[in-house]
Amino acid sequence: MSSVPHDLVAFLVEAKRRTYAELDDDATVARPVLAGSKQLEHRAAPYAYRDIYFEMGFFVGQETVSRDDRVIWSMSYSGGARAEITDRDTLLAIYKFLRQALSAIDPEEPYRGPRRFEQAGMVYRNEIEGSLDRFRGVETIAGQDGAPLYELHYGGGLLR
C-alpha cells in the first residue's frame, strides 16, 4: 500500500463512521446529484467523501474519495437483504445491525465492517481480498441459527 496517501485511511474510517454507520439515511444531502438516490457526504480538507446509493431491500451504490477535487479512490457495491425478507420491521432490524457492524470498521481493512461482528442474535462476516489500492469482498449477515439474511459484494481501489 505504499502508493496510498498516509492520511487516506484515517479519513476513510472517519467518513464511513460519520455517514451511513452513524446517521443512516439522515445523512442524506438535500439535493443528490442523481435523482432518486441517497447521497451521503463527509469533508475534512483536503479530502471529500461521497456515498451514492439507490433503494433499500436490494441496493447498489458507489463511494468516492476526492483529494483537492480529484477522485482518487472508489468502491462500488451491490447487495441487500434476501428477496424473501419483505417485512419492514425485519429489514429495519437487519440494517440497524449492519450500521452497528459498519461502525466497528477496522482501520487495517477500512472497506466495510470488521471480519466478524456479533450482536443481538445476528452475525456479520466480511471476507476481504487485497489492500486499499485494489480490493474486493463479500459481507454477510446471518441469524443466530445460521440462516442467511443479507449479502453484499464490493470492490474498488485507488484510481490511476
Domain count, the chain: 1
pLDDT of residue 26: 63
pLDDT of residue 25: 64
**For the segment 15-49, what is each residue's pLDDT rounded down to a tens digit?**
999 998 787 666 678 788 899 999 999 999 999 99
Domain that holds residue 30: 8-158
Q: 58 φ, ψ to 5°?
A: -120, 130
**For the segment 116-159, what is each residue's pLDDT rounded down to a tens digit?**
999 989 999 999 999 999 999 999 999 989 999 999 999 999 99
Q: pTM for the whole thing?
A: 0.92
Q: Is residue 15 part of a domain?
A: yes
| Residue with the three cell numbers 480529484 | 70
Q: Is residue 153 part of a domain?
A: yes
Q: Is residue 94 part of a domain?
A: yes
pLDDT of residue 29: 80
Q: Is residue 1 part of a domain?
A: no
* Dihedral sign (CA 104, 107, 113, 119): negative
Q: Is residue 21 part of a domain?
A: yes
- How many CB atoms lie under 10 A from the CB of residue 88? 10
pLDDT of residue 122: 97
**For the segment 92-107, what is each residue's pLDDT rounded down to a tens digit?**
999 999 999 999 999 9
Question: Is it the case that residue 2 has pLDDT exceeding 70?
Answer: no
Q: Is residue 2 part of a domain?
A: no
- How many CB atoms lie under 10 A from the CB of residue 118? 13
pLDDT of residue 1: 44
